[in-house]
Amino acid sequence: MKKNKLSLAVKLFSGALLLGTASAASAVEIQTDDATVNIYGYARLNASYDINEDISKSTGTRSGDFSQVNTGSAEDDEVSGYFGADAVQSRLGVTTTLTSGVKINVEGDFRGGTSGGQFRLRHAYGQYKNWLVGRTWSNYNSFVGNTSVLEMDGVAGNAGLYNRTAQVRYTTGGLSLAVEDPKSKIEGQPSKTGFPTLTARYENKSGRLSYATSALLQEVGYDTGSDDDSAIGFAVFTAAKFQLTDTVTIQGNVNYTDGANGYLWRSGTNYYGEDAYLNGDSVETIVGYSANLGTTIKVGPGSLSAVYGMTSMDWDDAADDGLDVNDKHERNTNAFLTYKWSPVKAVTLGVEYGRYEVKKVSGDEGDANRLMFAAQYNF
């Protein structure tokens, strides 16, 4: 029996830890006869000051939460000025590459639990040649047209699901096809899904233009044992980024959904809206759409970004059919002005102004303004 030899190679990369002192940042690589293991991650502080009401997400990262924006009379005499900070976005991951070509990735952060601080699984997948199986970014997703901001939850109108999900994916060139864990949601009624979500995405680049487009189909249905119905929901998006000059880019996304608002980022009260409602026993799909547009400019030692995004859901048919939807979010918008810079290798600092606006079906509106600071130390 041949004895397997283990060799350990640890590569240290110099970096700096700010906040008053400096120290080394490191990356770890472990090599065996059959595999290479890389340990990576970062430590991150997020701090926010809510100029108006406190809209920070309860699970941490200090991201803004549309559901916490006061609307209508709640805007009157609201308590203002809230500061908070946490480090739950900090991340740890392990990637293993076997000599056979198999790659395994497991990664998590600490945004789990009702108030953050518990370990949360982000990625857990295996990949071999064209096939990927496990949990990672949805195939109905693209970062091509996104503008980078400090807030982890990002901009309304980002492309696709903007989240991770369990899936089986096949990729050839710029085309990816996948079957994914379904996410249908019916207003006021538990949904039942007997089929996976089907997704297709194509990404490519031509000169200064990078682009992506994607589509999905899903079943939206219910079954109480005595009554049942279902409909087909679909969604599409297009994302693009154009390099105007060596120092300026323009990027954006456009999304359209019909019966698939679970894939419409920052819709509903904060993250995702309902796909459908019941009119009697019949499933009626809900239309949604979103878009954002941003620019990034290299300024001084870093980059300055500005972006505006909006997400909207059409509740008119539901209201006409007699549903009480006055308190539903008809439109969510946010905008950010962000400056990021790297004072030393492996360290990124950033400051940001953000504005959130909500309009409900009733016509009630509200807004909130906030400032954010972040410090991230990579290894």
* pLDDT, tens digit (0-9, with 9 covering 90-100), for 207-251: 999 999 999 999 999 999 999 999 999 999 999 999 999 999 999
> By mean pLDDT, which of 3-17, 148-162, 282-296 is the weakest?
3-17
Cα separation, 302 vs 294, in Å, equals 17
Residue-level pLDDT at 114: 87
Q: How far is CA 23 from CA 15, 114, 255, 342, in A?
A: 7, 33, 44, 15
- What mean pLDDT comes out for the span 363-379? 98
- What mean pLDDT comes out for the span 121-135? 99
Residues 150/341, Cβ–Cβ less than 8 Å: no
Residues forming a β-bridge with 304: 297, 339
Cα separation, 157 vs 219, in Å, equals 23
- The alpha-carbon radius of gyration of the chain (Å, integer) is 22
Q: pLDDT, tens digit, for every residue of 71-98?
A: 999 999 899 999 999 999 999 999 999 9
Give the rounded percent of residues in the chain with a pLDDT score beyond 70: 93
- What mean pLDDT comes out for the span 305-331? 98
Q: Per the structure block, which two tokens stand in for 143?
A: 């970062």
What's phi and psi for 73, nearest 5 deg?
-65, -20
> By mean pLDDT, which of 25-39, 55-69, 146-160, 211-225 is the weakest?
25-39
Residue-level pLDDT at 26: 55
In which element (H, E) is residue 316 found? helix 316-320
Domains delineated in the chain: 130-340 (2.40.160)
Helices (H), 160-232: none
Q: What is the DSSP string of 92-149?
A: EEEEEEETTS-EEEEEEEEEESTTS-EEEEEEEEEEETTEEEEEEE-SSB--TTPPP-
Other Cβ atoms within 10 Å of 64 Cβ, number? 24
Residue-level pLDDT at 1: 40
Could you tell me which residues come within 8 angstroms of residue 150 by beta carbon, excluding any fewer than 6 positions away?
Answer: 46, 336, 338, 340, 350, 351, 352, 372, 373, 374
Residue-level pLDDT at 24: 38
Residue 2 has pLDDT above 60, yes or no: no
Band (57; pLDDT cuts 50, 70, 90): very high
Residues forming a β-bridge with 370: 50, 354
Residue-level pLDDT at 115: 86
Residue 176 has pLDDT above 70, yes or no: yes
Cα separation, 29 vs 225, in Å, equals 55
Residues 228/282, Cβ–Cβ less than 8 Å: no
Residue 56 has pLDDT above 60, yes or no: yes
Nearest to 86 by CA among 59, 55, 112, 65: 59
Q: Per the structure block, which two tokens stand in for 237?
A: 């998006």
Other Cβ atoms within 10 Å of 296 Cβ, number? 20
Cα separation, 152 vs 154, in Å, equals 5
Residue 20 has pLDDT above 60, yes or no: no
Cα separation, 243 vs 295, in Å, equals 10
Q: Is 82 or 27 the better-scoring residue by pLDDT?
A: 82
Band (156; pLDDT cuts 50, 70, 90): very high
In the predicted model, what is the mean pLDDT of the chain? 93
Residue 307 has pLDDT above 50, yes or no: yes
> How remote is the C-alpha of 130 from its chain's centroid?
25
Cα separation, 243 vs 98, in Å, equals 37
Cα separation, 205 vs 210, in Å, equals 4
DSSP label of 59: T
> By mean pLDDT, which of 16-25, 103-112, 259-268 is the weakest?
16-25
